[in-house]
Amino acid sequence: MTTKYKNVYIKDTATVVGPYEYEGPLSKRFDKHYEDMYFNEETLEKAETKLMSDSIELALDKSKLKSEDINLFIAGDLQNQITSSTYAAGKLNIPFLGIYTACATNTEGLALGATYIESKICKNVMVSVSSHNMVSEKQFRNPTEYGAPKPGTATFTATGGATCILTNKKSKVRIESATIGIPQDYAQTDPLHMGSVMVPAAANTIHRHLTDLGRSINYYDLILTGDLGIYGKEILKDFMKTEYGMELNNYNDCGVMLYDLENQKEVQAGGSGPVCSALVVYSDILKKLETKELKRVLYVATGALFNPTTVFQKSNILSIANAISLESVE
Amino acid sequence: MEKKLYNKLVMNHKPTEKRAENAFIAFLTGGLVGVIGQLLVEFYSYYLHLSSNDASVFMMVTLIFFASLFTALGFFDKWVKFARCGLIIPITGFAHSMTSAAIEYRKEGFVTGLGANMFKLAGTVILYGVVSAYIFGFIRLIIMGGV
């Protein structure tokens, strides 16, 4: 399903990151960063909520809007029962939609928000995501202080919070269309190779988006996947070629762009987590769209859908990808 | 795309793990832990005039103490990332797995957090250690008559 929008604009965005992301190549472009992983909070879980709350505060400041001007708040994260989002929402007094498609949450939120604005139900919608490396390690893997060795295909959950305010008033960048993903099952079971899990979803969504709108792959100046990592990125190129006969030329992956893979060995195959793609798009890609360095970007966030129990029960890991087409406004 | 075909495609892009290098590092670091252990046994039996059995127990307690202390101080996980099985297989790994779980779940309370989760990783080792000791005990009884 692909929806076109005529009247949805990105007003402002804000990004808050932890120390590893600040060491990466996008370092100076983030709005705020923390030196440690607790941010003066008692627990890691509260620290993640703080990331989201900080980004919300910054986005509202930038947009000069008050929280009562926002008609709807949409948010999601990786924590059990998305509590990072619910605690952040609890401070706001705005109607709240909690959403989850793992690392594809951000584009799901943007697509939902855009639909609410296009249908004139809302004037301003705020979309937030967060993730915290140590919260995810604790929930999905081993205790953080254990430091169990992982294979090179493993990705590193990004620590950060990101917020975007969508509006019906003209700005420099607009959301042109959105394609909602279809869950894909390619019988993958390795949670330490999420790239291989998510490639079929990314490929399916990109292909459907282009077919639905009758566009060629070169229509976009850049196709950007969420967090496939260095190995997933190569698998996707191969997949697109063998399955659809498409060459991915103007293509990059947010997981690869967020960190300096040469010098930050701890991130292994690259970044992941709902906030990973949001951090790259808000801090880097939107700026390039504003200055018209890029004109059309297809942002395809990808998510692996599983929980720790289903993994141990050897169930297949499903994947999903939601795509958003971003355009610079003339 | 067929699932089998896709798996082939994934395998084409799979990085090779440096198994030989990892095994060599684990051999050296694991061996080093063994050497330190032996030196401790010698030290305790020579200076504290303990029997070698008692000295072994003292040695283990010492290694457990330092592995736990280093985990608590926050740098033992970095050593484990480097040495891998060199530090995971010896008793240092056992201590580290318990301390790291204890630290992780401390905030969820002494009973519901620390108590319930401390053996999250080490529990497996204890359970199957006891089971295999039981089985080997029987084998020994049957073959050697319990000597």
Q: Does residue B130 fall inside a structural domain?
A: yes
Where is the domain boundary, A167, A199, A227? Answer: A167
Q: Does the CB of A42 have a partner CB in chain B at under 8 Å?
A: yes
ipTM: 0.87
Q: Does residue B7 fall inside a structural domain?
A: no
Q: Over the stretch B63-101, which tens digit does the pLDDT of each residue have?
A: 999 999 999 999 999 999 899 899 999 999 999 999 999
Residues A150 and A54 occupy one common structural domain? yes
Cβ contact A145–B1 (<8 Å): no
- Are A125 and A327 spatial neighbours (Cβ–Cβ below 8 Å)? no
Q: Which of A145, A150, A238 to mutate to test the interface with B (most CBs of B within 10 A)?
A: A145
Two tokens at B50? 């303990």
Three-state SS at A11:
strand
pLDDT value at B144 more than 90: no
Q: Which of B1, B2, B4, B10 to mutate to test the interface with A (most CBs of A within 10 A)?
A: B10
Q: Which residue of A has its CA nearest to B82?
A: A149
pLDDT value at B129 more than 70: yes
Where is the domain boundary, A132, A167, A202? Answer: A167
Cβ contact A138–B104 (<8 Å): yes
CATH (domain of A49): 3.40.47.40
Strand partners, A9: A167, A174
Residues A132 and A191 occupy one common structural domain? no
- What pLDDT, on the 0 to 100 scale, is given for residue B147? 65
Residues of chain A with pLDDT under 50: none
Q: Over the stretch B94-123, which tens digit does the pLDDT of each residue have?
A: 999 999 999 999 999 999 999 999 999 999
**What is the pLDDT confidence band of residue B141, given thresholds at 50, 70 and 90?**
very high
Helices A44-63, A83-90: inter-axial angle, 10-degree rounding: 50
Interface A-B, measured as beta-carbon pairs within 8 A, has a size of 75
Would you call B47 exposed, middle or buried from its count of C-beta atoms within 10 A (0-12, 13-18, 19+)?
A: exposed
CA distance to B57, B88, B106, B116, B123, per residue, from B98 (Å): 19, 12, 12, 12, 9
Count of the separate structural domains present in chain B: 1
β-pairing verdict for A251-253 and A222-225: parallel
Q: Does residue B22 fall inside a structural domain?
A: yes
pLDDT value at B31 more than 90: yes
Residues A22 and A158 occupy one common structural domain? yes
Q: Over the stretch A146-204, which tens digit does the pLDDT of each residue have?
A: 888 889 999 999 999 999 999 999 999 999 999 999 999 999 999 999 999 999 999 99
- How many Cα atoms occupy the beta-carbon half-sphere of A219 within 13 Å? 14
Count of the separate structural domains present in chain A: 2
Two tokens at B41? 């046994």
Cβ contact A143–B78 (<8 Å): no
- What pLDDT, on the 0 to 100 scale, is given for residue B146? 66
Question: Which residue segment(s) compose the domain that B32 sits in?
Answer: 14-144
Residues A15 and A135 occupy one common structural domain? yes
Helices A133-140, A44-63: inter-axial angle, 10-degree rounding: 140
Cβ contact B120–A146 (<8 Å): no
Question: Which residue segment(s) compose the domain that A44 sits in?
Answer: 2-167
Residues A203 and A127 occupy one common structural domain? no
- What pLDDT, on the 0 to 100 scale, is given for residue B1? 81
Residues A220 and A290 occupy one common structural domain? yes
Residues A50 and A196 occupy one common structural domain? no
